[in-house]
Structure 1
């Protein structure tokens, strides 16, 4: 059986530029709120303490977002599909290689006007994560129902190409 590789999209630099610009603007706003909370009280944040709490929580979420983007965008990763299974270097979990016999089903998830390829494992407890990887996996599980989500916007293929290739190989392995 042949091996199929999908590499990082060459236009990912535009994603990096857009993400960095957004994060800089958000960081500036949160820092401004934190530096002078008295002048930023309004009906949603009526007290100084609520502005400070909002700013600190926002900065923590921002740090987590920066960590996730850094992990995704700095990798020279690839997706490899072969007779053993799927190797996805972009997974946030520690389990990068998924064998065909571990997969329960493959599905499409439409979330926020984007399509994601979801890989549901027969035993979700096979994931051994620590630290921020654990947190990222838990967020994916609560949002999508699985921790293994494939995003095609950073790959050099379309969603349909990736979904068709993985579905075809999965069906061949089930026989």
Structure 2
């Protein structure tokens, strides 16, 4: 039972992260463009589409986790997004850029030091751990998805002969 409780906490925690992050970016599209551009990873032609798509993706991930639909696949996509963000932060840090990650609003040029980058990476590794937990243990109370909610003990398990 404790695994399901931890899964519920992980699911709602990760949902909150995506919803807050996505809403902040969605609410300020100009700043999101600045943040994406600051990483200097994408050709200019891709900056605006990524800046427009990322908040929508984050909001969709957050909503699906909040209601408990397709938890395992959503957690896998979350993990992929988080790995991408961690790689982008490491890239900016290793190239000597001084930028705010823009993960929760803001972004662009900023006075940052090694500890700022390390703290952002550690935070995202924590979120990645939540995603990994949900990939392994996707079932939790109050989930709407058939494969995301705990199995009912009243339902008989099919036999090997079936």
Structure ranking higher in helix proportion: 2
User: Given the two structures, how large is their TM-score scaled by the length of structure 1?
Assistant: 0.33
Structure of higher CA gyration radius:
1
User: Given the two structures, how large is their TM-score scaled by the length of structure 2?
Assistant: 0.35
Structure ranking higher in strand proportion: 1
Structure number with greater CO (CA < 8 Å, separation at least 6) is 2
